[in-house]
Chains A and B, each alone.
Chain A
Amino acid sequence: QVQLQESGPGLVKPSETLSLTCTVSGFSINGGYYWGWIRQPPGKGLEWIGCIYHSGTTYHNPSLKSRVTISVDTYKNHLSLMLTSVTAADTAVYYCARFGYSDSFFDYWGQGALVTVSS
C-alpha cells in the first residue's frame, strides 16, 4: 500500500525558506512515477508547485519562478521541497502526491502539512 507523509516546520518567518520532506512507503521512488508537490491556501483551491522524477528531472510551476527546489533521496525513499523568500501568500497546506509518467493524474496523496508564514 502506497503511503506518503509530509513533515516539516509548521511556522516559517517571512523572507525565510520553507522546507518540507515527503516520506514514501510501500513503493519505491525509483518505480517509474513522478512525485509532486501541490499546495492549497486556506479555503482556496489546489495549485501544482512542481515535481521530480527519480532520475532527478524536475519541473516547476512558472508562477513560482525560481523560488522552488525539489530533490529526491532514493536511498531514504523521500523527496523534499524548498521554497525561498516566503510571504504570507505562501501560507497553505502542502501535499505531496504521486502521478504517472504518461498519465499524469495524482493517484496517491499525503495527508498534507499546514505551513503558516508569519513573524
Chain B
Amino acid sequence: EIVMTQSPATLSVSPGERATLSCRASQSVSSNFAWYQQKPGQAPRLLIYGASTRATGIPARFNGSGSGTEFTLTISSLQSEDFAVYYCQQYNNWPPLTFGGGTKVEIK
C-alpha cells in the first residue's frame, strides 16, 4: 500500500497570502496524483488531477506541481472560500486507492 503523508497538518494563512501544501508518497506514483478540497459538511471536490491539471471550474489561483514522490499545491492568493481541508490522493498503484491525512488551511 502506498502511504501518502501531508504537511503541515494545519496551515494558518491570512487572506490574500500564498499557501503552500505538501504531500509525499511512500513510493513513486508518477503523475497519477490528485488534490481535493473539502469544506465542513460537504463532500470533497476535485481540484487537481494528473498532478498539475486543474479540474473543470477550478480557479487559476490553484496550482499543482510535482511528480514521483513529492507534490505541492499552491494557492496563490487565498480567498475566504479557500479556507478548508485539502487532501491528496494517489491512483498509480491500487488497490487500495489512498489519501493523505489532510491539511487544514485556516484563517490567521
Contact = CB atoms under 8 A, between A and B. Distances in A.
12 contacts: A45-B100, A45-B101, A47-B99, A48-B94, A51-B97, A62-B96, A99-B97, A104-B94, A105-B34, A105-B91, A106-B36, A107-B49
Interface string B58-69: 000000000000
A59 B95 contact: yes
Interface of B: 1, 32, 34, 36, 42-46, 49-50, 55, 87, 89, 91, 94-102
B100 A103 contact: no
Contacts of A60: 95
A63 interface: yes
B81 to A, nearest CB: 18
Interface in A99-115: 99, 103-107, 109-112
A11 interface: no
B55 to A, nearest CB: 7
A63 B36 CA distance: 23
Contacts of B102: 45-46
A62 B87 CA distance: 21
A94 to B, nearest CB: 11
A85 interface: no
Contacts of A59: 94-95
A87 B1 CA distance: 24
